[in-house]
Amino acid sequence: PEPAIEPVWTSQEGSMARDTALNRWPRIVQAMVDDVTFAAKSANEPQRLEAEELTKSLDSIREEIVADAALKPLERDGSSDIQRYNDQLVSLGTVSWLNSPWLFAECYMYRRVQSLFARSKGWKGYDIFKRQKDESLVKSRAAVEELATHFVENVMNARLGGRSSHAEEQKLLFLEMTQIALWGNATDLSLLSSIGVDELGSLQGRNAIEKNRRNVVDDASEAVWSYLAKPTRANRRIDIVLDNAGFELLTDLVYGAYLLESGQADYVVFSVKDFPWFVSDATHSDIDSLLEHLDNSVLFPNRKYIEPLVRRLRCLFEAGSMTFRSHPFWTEAASFHDFETTSPGLFKCLRSSALVIFKGDLNYRKLTMDGLWPHETPFRAALGPLGAGSGIRILALRTNKSDVCVGVEDPVRLESLTRESPKGEWLRDGKHAVISFSDGS
């Protein structure tokens, strides 16, 4: 029988949940206050006055966190998901910032911030994280150039040779492109509040990938390839549930383009967030902004490979081979174990996809209910209702940034991980990762 697993709480001593609530959240909210203060300097008079209210409200969220106040119901802002947040809060009883399910409280925090802007007059739609997202993209220049070169030389040009090239070569390219999309996730900005934007280079690009490749603790990429390469596979749509904007987003668009060019899919659908979320998550406008930044020859002066790459990406969007869509479910607090009941329409839609690729740490936490499962638990078991019999084919590409990690089924491997990082560093350092697959059968 499966052990009864509960979501991790922010009260759990020694957990990443507790550390985040105590240390990271206050810093993240302070950065929001600083951003609005800065933006207000170039705003008009009514906006400036409103900015004072906004910074006061943000400040009081930070104070509530530090004082471990009770979580209070969200105020209505016209969106229907507020009711669901509040229902969930009621069902939890009295919970406080430092004594609540981590996943719920963290989503609640970003939703509460969003509702401040949604209820404002002059700051609706304002992206409080945009400055940080842009800054990190520009600092990722070397990795962007490297990625563009790789795509143009190995995907657009010779190596694919259409669908007829050698099977082994196609497989190797798939494994390589999957690694690139995976390690693009190493740099989310909510972590950079502790490691600094200047360290980006050490986490991106070929060297970092080569160095960390052996750190994939659950690697199902061969099984994914066997599934994708089946000649009988009828379904031709692949979904990518995006995580972060900037460099990671570029790796995801490139991965989508590769899946099309290599004949693994006829359509790739990217899911974005409805509003700024977990600092660096991609919204619709982040896709436009990424392509515009890449068009800018001052920011990206080395044009040789970037230009054909961007042209190809735009072309795939214009042709409708790549599309993106958003859905309120992605910014709700529900774990994906409750997917079908919370969002039956979206669930049904994903069931008709050939493969749903979930990027990043937060999606992985939601897939696994944010539970501290024994690490040897098979991925499909930790997926609960999304695993066996769900009819959804799931691939998670995630660098480890929180305590939940399953699928390390080899006891020798697990033992050596525990020995090498006695404080559980392998779970949090972003240098270990999983490529986990469940075929939903």
Report the interface residues with ligand F6P, using CB under 6 A. Answer: 20, 106, 185, 188, 190-191, 243-244, 278, 360-362, 365, 401-402
Secondary structure element (H or E) that encloses residue 179, with its range: helix 167-183
CB of 318 to ligand F6P, least distance (A): 29
Kindly give, in sequence order, each residue whose CB lies less than 8 Å from that of residue 90, ignoring residues fewer than 6 positions away: none
Q: Which of 178, 179, 244, 342 binds Mg ion (CB under 5 A)?
A: 244
Q: Which of 188, 219, 261, 439 binds Mg ion (CB under 5 A)?
A: 188
Say how many C-beta atoms besides its own lie within 10 A of residue 288's C-beta: 11
Q: 23: which DSSP letter?
A: I
β-pair type (394-399, 216-219): unpaired
365 binds, among ligand F6P, Mg ion, none (CB under 5 to 8 A by kind): ligand F6P
Residue (95 or 249) nearer to ligand F6P, CB: 249
Closest listed residue to residue 183, CA positions, set 139, 224, 152, 214 = 214
Residue (139 or 401) nearer to ligand F6P, CB: 401
DSSP string of 33-92, one letter each residue = HHHHHHHHTTS-HHHHHHHHHHHHHHHHHHHHHHTTPBP-PPPP-S-THHHHHHHHHHHH
Q: Which residues 262-301 are close enough to bind Mg ion by CB under 5 A? A: 278, 281
Closest listed residue to residue 147, CA positions, set 157, 159, 155 = 155
| Total interface residues for Mg ion by CB under 5 A | 5
d(CA 267, CA 327): 18
CB of 10 to Mg ion, least distance (A): 19
397 binds, among ligand F6P, Mg ion, none (CB under 5 to 8 A by kind): none
20 binds, among ligand F6P, Mg ion, none (CB under 5 to 8 A by kind): ligand F6P
Instruction: For residue 324, report the phi and psi dihedrals to the nearest 5 degrees.
Output: -130, 155
Structure-token pair, residue 313: 């990406």
Say whether residue 55 binds Mg ion (CB under 5 A).
no
261 binds, among ligand F6P, Mg ion, none (CB under 5 to 8 A by kind): none
Secondary structure element (H or E) that encloses residue 217, with its range: strand 216-219
CB of 247 to ligand F6P, least distance (A): 12
- Let me know: does 136 contact 189? Beta carbons within 8 Å: yes
402 binds, among Mg ion, ligand F6P, none (CB under 5 to 8 A by kind): ligand F6P
218 binds, among Mg ion, ligand F6P, none (CB under 5 to 8 A by kind): none
Give the residues lining the site for Mg ion (CB under 5 A): 188, 243-244, 278, 281
